[in-house]
Structure 1
Amino acid sequence: MTRLVLILATILVLGITAVHAEAGEITIAAASDLNFAFKELVAEYEKTTGDHVKLSLGSSGNFYAQIQNGAPFDLYFSADIGYPRKLEEAGLTVPGSLYRYAVGRIVIWTGNESKISVGKGFDSLREPTIKKIAIANPKHAPYGRAAVAALEYAKVYEQVKDKLVMGENISQAAQFIESGACDIGVIALSLAMAPAMKTKGTYWEIPAEAHPPLEQGAVILKSSKQQESAKQFLDFIKGPQGQEIMTRYGFTLPN
């Protein structure tokens, strides 16, 4: 009887191991504007496929540099399609995998405790009570570059440039405002629309013509050992579940 129990236990362990071996695992580097959208999307993908996703969020420019230096990612989702295009030109991507997955938007956002009315649009940034304005660092964050372009378009940049506080990425810029470290700022619409932030502040959507389009691109990396699983995730993004989630977080989807 004891021997039979041991045999059955061994079979069970081997069966569990086999299931885990069959399930794929992919590592994704994603721009931080995807923070809330991708956490929901990854959860749905894992539930649907049984595969596991390791998600790293940060600035697109920093990830680009890391990938050039051999960082072991399977998929790269950039807030600026220019970065994956450069990787493609350098021969570091799976041919034909480049995908323009969304166009992002930016907003002026402030917390509920603030007396600043973002309904005034760009004029809200001119309020004399404002001491600090958060944006992402334009050196390596596409949303930071879009913010600077919008401020220049509205002819407020020179007035506010000394008040700008640079977040390492757009999520950190949002955290600066949410925590009260900054009075107001320019963040991604996808963050402002997330349930975690929607009830904590108000936003004004910056007109699309105020800055170059935030065309966002994804690519499968040639160094990936999980290219099939990476393709499956990319297909999930293109499918109805993925598209519904991206739309709900304010992204404009490709035609």
Structure 2
Amino acid sequence: MFARSFLALLLSLLGSTLAGAQNLTVVAAASVRHAMQDIVASYQQQFPDDAIRIIFGASGGLTTQIINGAPFDLFFSADTALPQRLYDEGLTTGKPVVYAEGRLVLWSADLDASTLTLHDLTSPNIRRIAMAQPRTAPYGQRAQEALTNLGLWDVVEEKIVFGENISQAARMAEAGAAEIGLIALSLAVVPPLNDQPFQLIDRDLHAPLTQAFVITRRAASNPIAHRFADFIGTPEVTAILRQHGLHS
């Protein structure tokens, strides 16, 4: 009798513990994949009991999922407009917080991209140009802006092959599906792409790639979400972002 009562009590306590347990789902732009993995690793050195899952994708697609009720807690976008949209629609706990600024680069697996400019994309030797889809990815939007501002978009548009997000565009360039890619600096400075030279795109050719994050309304009472958000403002994270070409 005692054994049965003790077992029932133990199961009850275990059930209460599991019911009260919380974890964190972070969704982030594909351009910050490597930086975010390092940030989470650094965070968990300090808070090893906090369970964190990370999902990467195009910022526009992740925004749509949040609007449609996806169970995400923090959203790190590659721009500020999409987090602002979520805030305006009452889907966040507060205003967007800027955490980084990205840069666009020209990168190629076979060419010396450091010697090239956007005007060289008109060359007949370059038959395919990889970039992220402008409809869903801020880096794709900025690449299109830069080409448009130089009067090159209509000239090279038929050469462009689109990746769903910036990581996919980088993989296309790496695999040779395109001779060159317009990709994120944060991807060009880490393996496996960092063995090849790149060319920074003049930031004056497009709107800034200022990047912001928000805590979603779903995570309003999740202490891990607020602890992780506070961690983003620490010197450790600033150093990680700079190391990955995301100057905050």
TM-score, length basis structure 1 = 0.86
Contact 1:26 1:226 in 2 (8 A): no
Contact 1:117 1:124 in 2 (8 A): no
Shift of the 252–117 alpha-carbon distance from structure 1 to 2, 3 Å rule, reads: closer
Shift of the 134–87 alpha-carbon distance from structure 1 to 2, 3 Å rule, reads: same
Cα distance per residue 1:81-125 (max 9 Å; x no partner): 1111111111111135x21111111001111xx145442222331
* Among candidates 190, 197, 220, match of residue 215 of structure 2: 220
Partner of 1:240: 235
Partner of 2:171: 175
* Among candidates 96, 99, 116, match of residue 97 of structure 2: 99
Partner of 1:8: none
Name the Cα RMSD after superposition: 2.2
How many residue pairs align between the two structures?
236
Contact 1:74 1:226 in 2 (8 A): no
**Secondary structure of the residue that 1:177 maps to in structure 2?**
helix
* Among candidates 144, 149, 152, match of residue 156 of structure 1: 152
- Give the Å deviation of 1:47: 1.9
Contact 2:130 2:162 in 1 (8 A): yes
- Give the Å deviation of 1:31: 0.5
Q: Distance in 2 between matches of 1:197 and 1:84?
A: 29
- Give the Å deviation of 1:197: 1.8
Q: Distance in 1 between matches of 2:113 and 2:235?
A: 37
Structure 1 stretch displaced more, 114-123 or 243-252: 114-123
Unaligned runs of 5+ in 1: 1-10
Contact 1:220 1:227 in 2 (8 A): no
- Give the Å deviation of 1:21: 8.6
Contact 1:132 1:165 in 2 (8 A): yes
Cα distance per residue 1:215-253 (max 9 Å; x no partner): 211000111266321111111111011110001111121
* Among candidates 133, 140, 147, match of residue 137 of structure 1: 133
Contact 2:26 2:55 in 1 (8 A): yes
Q: Distance in 2 between matches of 1:243 and 1:37?
A: 10
Cα distance per residue 1:3-54 (max 9 Å; x no partner): xxxxxxxx9xx99x97x99975200110000011111111111122111210
Shift of the 57–141 alpha-carbon distance from structure 1 to 2, 3 Å rule, reads: same
Partner of 1:87: 86
The one-letter code sitting in structure 2 at the alignment partner of 1:158 is D
**Identical residues among aligned pairs (%):** 38
Contact 2:104 2:182 in 1 (8 A): yes
Q: Distance in 1 between matches of 2:183 and 2:176?
A: 15
**Secondary structure of the residue that 1:238 maps to in structure 2?**
coil
Q: Distance in 2 between matches of 1:240 and 1:246?
A: 10
Counterparts of residues 1-255 of structure 1 (less than 5 Å): 24-50=22-48, 51-96=50-95, 98-111=96-109, 114-115=110-111, 117-199=113-195, 201-224=196-219, 227-253=222-248
**Secondary structure of the residue that 1:198 maps to in structure 2?**
coil
Contact 1:118 1:124 in 2 (8 A): no
Contact 1:134 1:164 in 2 (8 A): yes
Q: Distance in 2 between matches of 1:101 and 1:210?
A: 22
Q: Distance in 1 between matches of 2:245 and 2:149?
A: 22
Shift of the 160–138 alpha-carbon distance from structure 1 to 2, 3 Å rule, reads: same
